[in-house]
Structure 1
Amino acid sequence: MTMGMSRLRRRQTLGALMLATTLALGPTFATAQGTAAGNYPNRPVTIIVPFAAGGGTDIVARMLGNELSKRWKTSVVMENKPGASGQIGNAMVARAKPDGYTLLVSTTAIIQEPSLYKHVPYAVFKDFTPLARIATSTSYLVVPASTPVQNVDEFVAYAKSQKGHISYGSNGNGGSAHLQGSLFNVSNQLDMVHVPYAGSAPLITALLGKQVDAAIVDISSLRAHLQSDKLKILAGTGQKRNPLLPQVPTLKEKGFSGFEPIGWYAILGPAGLPEPLKQTISDALQEALKQPAVIKRIEELGLTPAPLPADAFAQQMKADSPQWERMIKAGNVTIE
């Protein structure tokens, strides 16, 4: 009788402890789920732009931020944190609390960096949560109009005939243009000299002024010069021709391999975002990217609207990464 009462009391005590624990954890769990699913955001959201104000990434971020602020009924604040090829801003988001209030506008550079630099202060596929792809961008091999070539094959022959005396420009060391130009140079044994510029604007100026013999230029920077009679656009990157330049073949079409990956703009968050919160943010981004005004603005920048939700974009990032790694290795590009 005494032993039975003792067991009963132990069961009652254990039950009381379990109930107390459930009540203690319940509100916290419910609050977290509610915030993720229904109450987010209830204060300003910050989007870190890892490059200087006024550039393409900054313009894309502010355009999208304006649309999100309308939908969320709260401020979406841009913070430009340039430096170290974007790594300073990227690292800030990697270290941020995974509550959805600190996001990152990113470019393809984030998956190129691990193959370019000896040390990167984050692990891309461990420290970030992909949320949405915004747009894509192709690049083009461009020469001054006075160059005595009409297509990419003729340019290769011309560069070989002038071996060691032809220069190619890019918008900076380690960027996509540098990687693509280096691959083209090495794979065709052209022995061209790389000339990095501090951005696409001075690169275009150098091309127009014949200060550089060729360049890889992204479509956004090239858009204002598509009808110029001072430049020849010979071939583009990617799997298919850009609708803006339907007459220009891809390098792949012309038999030059390795140029299939293209650039993209995207939104990432820190790792550890709860699944409901990740889905909430991804859904809001997808809705914003469907708006006609947003689509029009992206196209005005020379980009291709190409929204992808969180999980689909995560898969693309993982598929793109080894392609850029192969390009970097094949082009023998290293950044100290």
Structure 2
Amino acid sequence: MPFTSLHRRRFTGLACAALCAAATPFAWASDYPNKPVKLVVPYPPGGPTDIVARVVAQKLQEQMGQPFVIDNRPGAGANIGAEAVARSPADGYTLVVATTAHAINPSLFSKLNYSITKDFAPVSQLTSGPLVIVTHPATPANNVKELIALAKSKQGGLNYASSGNGQSTHLSAELFSASAGVKMAHVPYKGSAPALTDVMGGQADLMFDTMLSSMPHVKAGKLKALAVTSSQRSPSAPDIPTVAESGLPGYEAIAWNGVLAPAGTPKEVVDRLNAELKKALDNPEVKQRFEAQGFAAAWNTPTAYAGFLQAEVDKWGKVVKASGAKID
């Protein structure tokens, strides 16, 4: 069969299509972003995650020349926002700010409509920070060893407040109880504010809470801080010892934020976002603003963040199972 002009045109068209397909990833990288990017925050405005997201969005907007728009979608233990992003187009224009809750939820909720490890492409961690153990100032325990002794000696044990079932403020305390070999009764509240109010009022014995919420009350003398839950002392409160150094070696529980894109997002887009996040998180102003919230900037590669995320899912899965916590 002779090679006609029609065949030539078809061959040329196919060759162009192949070249275009091969060039697509590079086009993604060079052209991205060419329109506003939505950053979904699965919590209400004003909280720690929202504050972190707005700092990062502002810096990315300055660096990349396109608006990074915050979209608050709270509800269902941070699952509503995460599920919405998991179902979004995998083009890099809809991202979610994930938290420790998203590593807890797979084992806590009987049914989730998304998988945190399969339906997302990890971009980078953003922050890492401890919780702080706080009690009423009159509580007869001034460190972790004394708190453990008090819990063992008090008939019926101690009771601890949390910001809700399955939150890091709940499961950090459960991890503490299991590690220390003590029993403490859980009293869940609808948020940190009412929980802290009852700790300050003496209705609850203690709480594992974020530094952002608790430290203003500690500085005002309304709460007593016993220890932070990270492996290292917090730069925001260097005088407060860690749980591990003050009576419970090996204990660690951190609160973190990170960025996830829908699974299937082009690698070139993920890598571009990762590089821009590194630049943003290295910025001294950003570091300072995070430290004011009790967080440290915590950039890592997509691969490292994926490994970290899986380790967190595994770790908290064991804690949830031991605690017996479950949400239908």
TM-score (ref. length: structure 1): 0.89
Residue 214 (structure 1) aligns with: 206
**3-state SS of paired residue (1:122):** coil
**3-state SS of paired residue (1:36):** helix
Question: CA deviation digits over 1:240-279, x for unaligned, max 9?
Answer: 2223333333222345366324221111100011111111
Q: Aligned residues, how many?
A: 328
Quote the Cα distance in structure 2 between the aligned partners of 1:294 and 1:43.
24
| 1:22 aligns to 2:15 (yes or no) | yes
AA at the equivalent of 2:254: I
Q: 1:163·1:190 contact (CA, 8 Å) conserved in 2?
A: no
Cα deviation, residue 235, structure 1: 2.3
Which stretch of the first structure deviates more once superposed, 188-197 or 151-160?
A: 188-197
Quote the Cα distance in structure 2 between the aligned partners of 1:334 and 1:196.
13
Quote the Cα distance in structure 2 between the aligned partners of 1:29 and 1:170.
52
Cα deviation, residue 110, structure 1: 0.9
Pairing 1:68-87 to 2, within 5 Å after superposition: 68-87=60-79
**3-state SS of paired residue (1:135):** strand
Describe the shift of the 1:322–1:15 C-alpha distance in structure 2 as closer, same or farther (beyond 3 A): farther
Cα deviation, residue 49, structure 1: 0.9
**3-state SS of paired residue (2:15):** helix
Residue 301 (structure 2) aligns with: 309
| 1:329 aligns to 2:306 (yes or no) | no
Cα deviation, residue 286, structure 1: 1.2
Describe the shift of the 1:153–1:255 C-alpha distance in structure 2 as closer, same or farther (beyond 3 A): closer
Which stretch of the first structure deviates more once superposed, 104-113 or 218-227?
A: 218-227
Quote the Cα distance in structure 2 between the aligned partners of 1:210 and 1:71.
48
Cα deviation, residue 18, structure 1: 4.5
Q: 1:261·1:324 contact (CA, 8 Å) conserved in 2?
A: no
Pairing 1:1-336 to 2, within 5 Å after superposition: 6=1, 9=2, 17-30=10-23, 32-164=24-156, 166-188=158-180, 190-256=182-248, 259-336=251-328
AA at the equivalent of 1:22: A
Quote the Cα distance in structure 1 between the aligned partners of 2:241 and 2:53.
31
Cα deviation, residue 282, structure 1: 0.9
Cα deviation, residue 29, structure 1: 4.5
Cα deviation, residue 231, structure 1: 2.2
**3-state SS of paired residue (1:113):** helix
Structure 1 unmatched runs, 5+: 1-5
Cα deviation, residue 189, structure 1: 5.1
Describe the shift of the 1:39–1:21 C-alpha distance in structure 2 as closer, same or farther (beyond 3 A): same
Describe the shift of the 1:259–1:333 C-alpha distance in structure 2 as closer, same or farther (beyond 3 A): farther
Which stretch of the first structure deviates more once superposed, 48-57 or 228-237?
A: 228-237
TM-score (ref. length: structure 2): 0.91
Structure 2 unmatched runs, 5+: none
Q: 2:108·2:320 contact (CA, 8 Å) conserved in 1?
A: yes
Q: 1:182·1:333 contact (CA, 8 Å) conserved in 2?
A: no
Quote the Cα distance in structure 2 between the aligned partners of 1:152 and 1:145.
15
Cα deviation, residue 177, structure 1: 1.1
Quote the Cα distance in structure 2 between the aligned partners of 1:225 and 1:199.
16
Q: 1:187·1:330 contact (CA, 8 Å) conserved in 2?
A: no
Report the RMSD for the aligned CA atoms in angstroms. 2.3
Q: 2:236·2:292 contact (CA, 8 Å) conserved in 1?
A: no
Q: 2:36·2:66 contact (CA, 8 Å) conserved in 1?
A: yes
AA at the equivalent of 1:161: S
AA at the equivalent of 2:62: K
Cα deviation, residue 196, structure 1: 1.3
Q: 1:168·1:194 contact (CA, 8 Å) conserved in 2?
A: yes
Quote the Cα distance in structure 2 between the aligned partners of 1:332 and 1:186.
12
Cα deviation, residue 192, structure 1: 2.6
